[in-house]
């Protein structure tokens, strides 16, 4: 059975204004006023390489969809949609929340964590239907995160919108 998640509720759990990502998630998942949910397959990989697959039923409010075309380029829609998916998933699946936006040059997008610990978070998205391309993007983003100068452990999240597949993995720095 798929884990039910409410998009807007999970986006509010962070220390940043992640609610801004809701219309981008909805657009990239093909939603709007009539389609208010999507099924995602999430593949979680721990530091030892052990995979676990989970189904997620992501639900949103119709009023969170943009009534007008989003005012950014297609690449930005995909990136912000992926950031929104990551922010929606990490509280429930990892027990973490976004603490802050990363500084320029940190080699990841956000700092995530708990009261006691902190990790990096690198996120990317693709519209490709290819599983190979999704995994290659994941490999590239993993290398990027592993080169972070703070030497933080971190998570990589790559969202395949067309495939409705999300890869989430934990990594140590080089």
Segments of the chain scoring below 50 in pLDDT:
none
In angstroms, the CA 79 to CA 96 distance is: 21
Q: Which long-range contacts (CB under 8 A, 24 or more apart) does 70-74 make?
A: 70/23, 70/24, 70/27
- The reported pLDDT for the residue numbered 33 is 74
What pLDDT, in 10s, does the model give residues 3-44?
999 999 999 999 999 999 999 999 999 987 789 999 999 999
**Burial class (CB within 10 angstroms; exposed 0-12, middle 13-18, buried 19+) of 156:** buried
- The reported pLDDT for the residue numbered 154 is 98
Helix, coil or strand: residue 166: strand
- The reported pLDDT for the residue numbered 31 is 84
- The reported pLDDT for the residue numbered 174 is 83
């Amino acid at each position: 059975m798929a884990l039910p998640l409410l998009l807007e509720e999970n986006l509010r759990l962070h220390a940043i204004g992640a609610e801004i990502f809701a219309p981008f998630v909805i657009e990239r998942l093909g939603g709007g006023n009539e389609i208010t949910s999507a099924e995602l397959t999430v593949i979680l990989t721990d530091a030892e390489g052990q995979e676990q697959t989970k189904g997620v039923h992501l639900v949103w409010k119709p009023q969170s969809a943009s009534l007008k075309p989003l005012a950014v380029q297609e690449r930005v829609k995909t990136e912000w949609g992926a950031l929104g998916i990551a922010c929606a998933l990490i509280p429930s699946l990892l027990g973490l929340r976004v603490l802050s936006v990363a500084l320029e040059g940190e080699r990841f997008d956000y700092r995530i964590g708990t009261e006691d610990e902190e990790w990096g978070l690198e996120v990317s998205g693709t519209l490709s239907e290819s599983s190979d391309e999704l995994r290659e993007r994941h490999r590239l983003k993993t290398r990027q995160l592993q080169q972070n100068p703070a030497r933080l452990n971190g998570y990589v999240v790559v969202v395949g919108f067309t495939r409705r597949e999300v890869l989430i993995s934990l990594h140590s720095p080089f």
